[in-house]
Amino acid sequence: MGGDEAEIVQGTEHRQVSVLLRDQRADRCVLILAEASLTPLAGIRPFANIAVGERAYSVGAPWGRELTIGEGTVSALHPNNGFPLVQTTAPILPGSSGGALVDARGNLLGIVSFRVREDNAMGFALAAESFWAPRQ
């Protein structure tokens, strides 16, 4: 199910995109960017290679404050029925959902999804490899 329009922001650039597919259960979507390219990530870390205790950084727009970064650690890994989750102590605040969870080298660990309301130090990201698929 697609067809909606959206906007992505990279630095000071705002670009219109179309939503090709969305999966509300997994809190993810596939976007089409008509022109230009985005700055690539350093890499995408496989879920199996993420270590509990390593540094993790959340990047998002909490309360509309774009490109906010917060530091924490990977506190647990949850295979979770085909939707692997990376649990982190990096700040996950309202507006962070959809942002990146990266390691110290800028590799994508996951896409920030939610936090436990009672505990600001317990946030979750869907593992990056569940979003990435090589082009055919």
Beta bridge partners of 105: none
Q: Measure the CA angle with vertex 58, ends 123 and 6; round to 5°.
A: 100
Residue 125 has a CB neighbour count (10 Å cut-off) of 28
Fold of 47-130: Thrombin, subunit H (2.40.10)
Q: Profile the chain (136 residues) by mean pLDDT over runs of 10 residues.
A: 68 78 70 69 88 94 76 93 88 82 93 78 86 51
What pLDDT score was predicted for residue 85? 93
What pLDDT score was predicted for residue 28? 67
Domain boundaries, the chain: 1-39, 47-130
What pLDDT score was predicted for residue 134? 46
